[in-house]
Amino acid sequence: MARVVTAIDIGSSKVCTLIGEVTDADVIRVVGIGMVPSRGVSHGVITNLEEATLAIGESIQKAERIAQQTVTRAYVAVGGPHISSMNKRGSAAVGKGDRPIDREDLQRALDAAQSMPVTHNRQIIYCAAREYTLDEDVTTKNPLGLLGYTLDVDAHIITANATSINNLANCIRRNHVDIIEYVPQPIASAQAVLSAEEMNDGVAVVDMGGETTSMIIYACGTPFDTHVYPLGGSHFTNDMVVGLHTPVTAAEEIKLRYGHVLTSAVGADEKIDISTFGATSLSTIQRRYVADIMGARMEDILDHFILRDIKRSGYDGLLAAGIVLTGGASQVQGAAELTSAVLQLPARVGVPRRLHGLSETINNPAYATAVGLLLHGMRRETIDKPIPAFESNPKTGSRLLQWLKNILPR
């Protein structure tokens, strides 16, 4: 019998519930989609319990009606600028070299990595092994079955504000749905748009949503650095309200129809008619003016947030696979070209991996998080072996990265 996986992504612009059926061949088929505009959510965080509970309920019910099944448990994405990450090392004694390392040993090492004190209002929501070191000598992604004395793990840990998590949980539970697991939004989006090769070679996924933008760096197959910023597509719109003196609804429409972030790619003769505050008739402006406004905002996000944190991570110049943009706002024309020019890296817009079933609607960057959640849930319910580090090219370890850093020009 097919197992059912449900994913709920509560974004600043939309709430999306996806119901998938995992077939015996470990293929997921989307059987229910419930998308409703967000309410009671600001910058990815619940700010009005009643409103958010209702919006989440509507989204779940829509998906249930299409799938003709009731949702009782779900994987839930956690987004918002309260998310932060760190890399920690944990150690576990594994015997006297006389017995093979088992999954319990891996878990003990991971538990040790997470044993640092976190402030009372923080909660660890994600911890994944990056790589293991056996007896300070052998570095491996999967030490299961090896012999040794001490096992060290380098883990990527993501924490979130406990209050935000509690409020999120409250909204979901009020809809009679149990939470199976919280998945950080950047982790989910990355699962939907990255290939294993990109994860191995070094890549940053930038998910530009309605009111937040997240950035996650993957290297050697595993997440290394995670950030969420309080800036998104609504900032493009608000900039136009101010710059063009046009109401929000008109600014949003201009953004969707005529938006561009590369002024040089817009013809000097392209004109658009816009309504402005206080005027009784439409005004005509150059479309290039829209591109000036949107391009300035995009450059600001790329330069002051994305590039700054790539540099801080130490991966500046080492992201061979470049940048994968996703999220609804990444669809603005010129996004990949401008990103590539500002960051001096290859860039593409990532559409979520195509799933079976009702996948037409969700074949869009705005659904990267929801699709990634579904894929994450499927792995958990089928073949998942979450403890060993992501099986990647075992030769590309941190020492090679250090060596590359030393020889590459900065």
Residues 47-66 that bind ligand ATP (CB under 6 A): none
Residue 324's binding partner, choosing from ligand ATP, Mg ion, none, with beta-carbon cut-off 5 to 8 A by kind? none
Question: Considering beta carbons, is residue 15 or 345 the nearer one to Mg ion?
Answer: 15
CA end-to-end span of the chain, whole Å?
55
The residue (of 47 and 283) whose beta carbon lies closer to ligand ATP is 47
Binding ligand ATP (rule: CB under 6 A), the pick from 291, 324, 366, 371 is 366
Q: Which of ligand ATP, Mg ion, none does residue 234 bind (CB under 5 to 8 Å by kind)?
A: ligand ATP
At 134 the three-state DSSP class reads: strand
Q: The sheet that has 84-93: what strands, in order across it?
A: 84-93, 150-161, 122-134, 138-140
What are the structure tokens assigned to 118, written together? 């976190």
359 DSSP 8-state letter: -
Q: How far apart are CA 15 and CA 370, in angstroms?
A: 9
- Token pair of 164, please? 């935000």
Compute φ and ψ for 338, nearest 5 degrees.
-65, -40
Burial call 13-25: b when 16+ CB within 10 Å, e when fewer: bbbbbbbbbbeee
Name which of ligand ATP, Mg ion, none residue 331 binds, using a CB cut-off of 5 to 8 Å depending on partner kind.
Answer: ligand ATP
CB nearer Mg ion, residue 17 or residue 369: 369
User: Which residues share a beta bridge with 45?
Assistant: 42
Considering the complex, what minimum distance in angstroms separates the CB of residue 339 from ligand ATP? 14
Which of 11, 80, 202, 365 forms a contact with Mg ion (CB under 5 A)? 11
Provide the β-strand partners of residue 156. 87, 128
How many residues in the shown chain lie near ligand ATP by CB under 6 A? 24
- The tokens of 403 are what? 């060596």
Q: How far apart are CA 131 and CA 211, in angstroms?
A: 34
Yes or no: say if 401 and 220 are a contact pair by the CB < 8 Å rule. yes
User: Is residue 212 near ligand ATP by the rule CB under 6 A?
Assistant: yes
227 binds, among ligand ATP, Mg ion, none (CB under 5 to 8 A by kind): none
Among positions 79, 184, 186, 295, the unique one binding ligand ATP when judged by CB under 6 A: 79
Q: How far is the CB of 78 from ligand ATP (least distance, A)?
A: 11
Of ligand ATP, Mg ion, none, which one sits near residue 148, judging by CB under 5 to 8 A according to partner kind?
Answer: none
Which of ligand ATP, Mg ion, none does residue 329 bind (CB under 5 to 8 Å by kind)? ligand ATP
**Cβ 388 vs Cβ 144: under 8 Å:** yes
Residue 19 binding target from Mg ion, ligand ATP, none, CB below 5 to 8 Å by type? none
Selected from 34, 57, 233, 357, the binder of ligand ATP by CB under 6 A is: 233
Q: Which of 143, 327, 372, 377 is in the footprint of ligand ATP by CB under 6 A?
A: 327
Q: What distance in Å separates the CA atoms of residue 335 and residue 165, rounded to the nearest whole number?
A: 32
Stated as kind and residue range, the H or E segment containing 113 is helix 103-113
Distances (CA, A) of 34 to 118, 132, 169, 189: 36, 41, 19, 18
187 binds ligand ATP (CB under 6 A): no
Q: Strands 122-134 and 213-219, how do they pair?
A: unpaired
Per-residue binding string, ligand ATP, 10-39, x by CB under 6 A, is -xxxx-----------------------x-
Q: Is the Cβ of residue 85 or residue 189 nearer to Mg ion in the bound state?
A: 189
Contacting residues toward ligand ATP, per CB under 6 A? 11-14, 38, 44, 79, 209-212, 232-234, 252, 255-256, 259, 327-329, 331-332, 366
Contacting residues toward Mg ion, per CB under 5 A? 11, 209, 369
